[in-house]
Structure 1
Amino acid sequence: MKPAHAPADHLAIPPKKTGILIANLGTPDGYDYWSMRRYLNEFLSDRRVIDYPAWKWQPLLQGIILTKRPFTSGRNYKLIWNEERNESPLMTITRSQAEALRARATAEWGDSVMVDFCMRYGNPSTQDVLDRMVKAGCQRIVFLPLYPQYAGATSGTANDQLFRALMAQKWQPAVRTCEPYFDRPDYIAALAASVRRTLGDRVPAKLVASYHGMPKRYLLEGDPYHCQCQKTSRLLKEALGWPEGVIDTTFQSVFGPEEWLRPYTVEHVAELAKRGITDIAVISPAFASDCIETLEEINGEIRESFEHAGGKDFAYIPCLNDDPGHVDVMLNVIRDTMGGWVPVRNAAPSQDADRALRPQDQDRQADRAGDQPPL
């Protein structure tokens, strides 16, 4: 439509909308060598992920790493590939999350909002999706990176890519980025519900909360990720009502020669088995969607490490994915972030969740006020 009193040759302007854009890590277009190479090149060239000087890192990456790694990564992706849709599980799940969120957002705000998803690496790219949303009339955008805990190499680089995409826009929309939700009562409640859904009333000898790793140096340089992971584990234990010592926090996906955050999951589960702890469950609170690191690494390499060391009972608790409780969390985070942009209805948490988690909610508010340390 054209603005009132506009000349006849004025460009048509679509009705004003508020965009909701969720972002996940990314996925190769296929598990063949060249698809894997393109994806790994984009991922491993990100200075947020590998911050070595380019003169030092790029010859190694373009030579040895991208000659060999696409073959091994491609074989791993092939094990979990969604052959029916010819895409990775991460793509399937993220699309389903966006569809569920779109249905909920449309029911609440009607056609004044537009919901879409993008990937930091690969397709659909942040640039392409932002272009589409702007052309559809999104003059305001709420951006939610699907990482409960903040890290520069996850939420930070997703935000970076959005800001770079904005630089190409003649008419930039206003943008609000969502804060990490690692300690939200509704998120902790959804995690606890997923544990009960998989394990029932059984309490394993150990619940291993395995988070994606990062170089220890990043923590020492000020990245809050490690502290936020530790707090998520503590709040999960409190929500489940389990005794001290049942939940262990570990880190997976170590890459390169540097020391990463410890303990390493693959080593820790083997050590548990050697100590006679042969009944464990593993959960991945840092992942909003099941992906290569959960479906292949945890259910493959990490499970094998445990069983080869004498472990017997290994249960993997799936990510929250498109579970309705998780969609509720995403919608609540978005609603909090977009306050004032579109009319919203007050959404109080369920009485059960409120009773179970109110002390944690108070703890979270006190943390943000600076009354307590971040753990």
Structure 2
Amino acid sequence: MKLYALFKKTWAMSLLIFVLLVSLTPVSQAAAFLSVAQALENQNNSVQTVKGYVVGQPTGTSTVITSNYPNDYALALADSSNETNTDKMVYVQIPSNLRSTFGLQSHSELKGKSLTVTGTLTPYFSHSGIKSVTSISTETGGTDPAPDPTEPTVPVEDYYRTAAEKTGNSLKTELHNIIDHHTELSYSAVWEALKKTDEDPANANNVILLYTGRSQAKGTNGGGVDDWNREHVWAKSHGDFGTAMGPGTDLHHLRPADVSVNSTRGNLDFDNGGTEHSEALGNYFDSDSWEPRDEVKGDVARMLFYMAVRYEGDVSDEPDLELNNTVNNGTAPYHGKLSVLLQWNAQDPVDDRERRRNDIIYSDYQHNRNPFIDHPEWVNEIWN
């Protein structure tokens, strides 16, 4: 009997210890978070909570600014509030519903503060990052809720607030001021960006080529005959800006295109007519102009309208690009044919693929938008 009583007592104590351990385990797990250094080492698309100090706003792969923040879309965390080495920072993409609370343009006082961020460990700005963020909180609490999936990705109307009720040159000037000073990419970074902006929605391994409409493997970019390369829709010789950062790397007019088709298009202005291209059916060309297929006529027009507003020559190293009603513009900073582009804008309305592309460029890369995708009616307000 004594042995039975001892066994019973020992079993009861063991059970109590087990229950206590089980009850304590979730608390420990819930409190766990990664340091920034650990987040940098584990860019594996896992969902984690990271704790660090706000050290600035990333504007490029190796650029973090610490004042005069351009917007509320991103912040950089480090394990030290005084960190200046971007290799020791993790870049956080702030979702739209958290920007008014944790964006640095709205709350510059957050610099130096400790935050915890829950999201997916994956590159942002081609740098170790946290995206698809579900919550951000200060060290003392105050976690904001996860984004509402029905909420627009980008607060478009707020973005254009200062352009309201303007017309003509006043509208053109105000839109320039809104979309100016975007984050600039290197020409090599354009390769990876296009793989995302022009991804085939039916096949994530492919991109859609502009003129042929062909779905082609992302990894076949290059200079070979059947490769795809970076097409400057505003021909880079029209203004002689080449591939310089700014107009030469602006994603709003760069698209994947078949190498040989791109070569045929060259620096031709846009107009109707010519001979149909044997590889890019539906596209026509002659000695001085190129006509794209019907499905992208509006896309082409709105890309050129964007370029004519974004680049006004008000910065010393940027050209003043303008649309005119001629062809054979050569190296002059002009592109035509305006009357035809106006027709194409009306003929081929904005579609969801264009809108998605505009959103990606805005949120992930340049942080500016093409106004004529959001408001195609503004085309006729400016060029009438």
Coarse TM-score class (shorter-chain normalised)? under 0.3
Bigger RCO (CA 8 Å, 6+ sep)? 1
How does the TM-score come out when normalised to structure 1? 0.25
More helix by share: 1
Instruction: Looking at secondary structure, tell me which structure has more strand per residue.
Output: 2
